[in-house]
Each structure stands twice: as C-alpha cells, then as structure tokens.
Amino acid sequence: MITMNTAADTATDLLRSRGLRSTAQRRAVLTALGEAPHATAPDLESLLGPGTAHGLSRQGLYNVLDDLARSGLVRCIEPAGSPARYELRVGDNHHHLVCRTCGRVQDVDCAVGAAPCLTPSDTHGFALAEAEVTWWGTCESCREADA
C-alpha cells in the first residue's frame, strides 16, 4: 500500500520510483490527495487554488491524474452515479462505503483479506485478480441529521 507521510520529498521519491518526473504539478496533486482521500478532479482543483495554481490547468490536472493512475500511484474509483474519485491507497485489498445522501466515501478493509475477495458463480475462463465492492447506505451523520 502506498501512502504519503511527509511532503515533497516523499512525493518526489514516489514519482521517481514509478519512472515519472517529479514535477511541481504532480507533487501538488499527490499532496492534495493526501489531504483529501476520495477527491474528485473538481475537489482537487479547488484544493490547489483557482486558475493556474501550480501551473496546472484543468486539462493539466486530468493529465496528471491519468499519469498517476497509470503508474499505480493513484487509484481511480467510479461509484455509480458519482464522478471519478481518486485516492492514494493503492496496492491493497480494500473496498468502499458510499453514503447515498451526502456522497461521503469511506474505505473499508476486505474481511477475507486476499484478493479477489469474492467468488463468482462462473469465471467464464477468466483468471480473477481482484473484485471491487461498493456498499451503499446512509452515513451516521446523515442519519442523525434526519432524526
């Protein structure tokens, strides 16, 4: 599992470990994701500042996210009806809880431990590597607000 514990040095090391150049834009996105797990691209754009903060246009942000996801530094999840969300927690076997009311996303570790966690009734010849599980419900805060 990859996590960011310190700032720029760690981001630089992570980027270089995956063969990526350590640019200010990539470091900024990794740092922002460390502060806001499960962020959407617009969330990150807000965190990074208006306009061209860090020299990063909207398209540049999407390009950086794509580079980070393809290199395995960032995981992109796409819960149904939600925009793509990005997280630094990669390389482990975890799933997600999503609140239907506020959209909050929470990591949850797999109870089984080993991927793929689930066994389909028929693999149709596929060699299974992983399963993505999303549980939908209402978070405690939203339930309390409704009460």
Q: Do domains 8-77 and 92-146 have the same CATH topology?
A: no
Would you state the pLDDT for residue 132? 85
- Report the topology of domain 8-77: Arc Repressor Mutant, subunit A (1.10.10)
Taking the C-alpha atoms of residue 105 and residue 97, their distance in angstroms, rounded to an integer, is 6
Mean predicted confidence (pLDDT) in 1-10: 53
Q: What percent of the chain has pLDDT over 70?
A: 88
What's the whole-model pTM score? 0.83
Write the pLDDT tens digit of every residue in 101-110: 999 999 998 8
- CATH numeric code, 92-146: 3.30.1490.190
Q: Domain locations in the chain?
A: 8-77, 92-146
Q: In one letter, which amino acid is 144?
A: E
Structure tokens at 104: 């909050």
Mean pLDDT of 39-54: 82
Q: What is the mean pLDDT of the chain?
A: 87
The proportion of the chain whose per-residue pLDDT surpasses 90, expressed as a percent, equals 62
Residues with Cβ within 8 Å of 106's Cβ and at least 6 positions away in sequence, in order, are: 96, 97, 98, 139
pLDDT per position as a tens digit, 58-97: 899 999 999 999 999 999 999 988 899 999 999 888 899 9
- Rg of the Cα atoms in the chain: 17
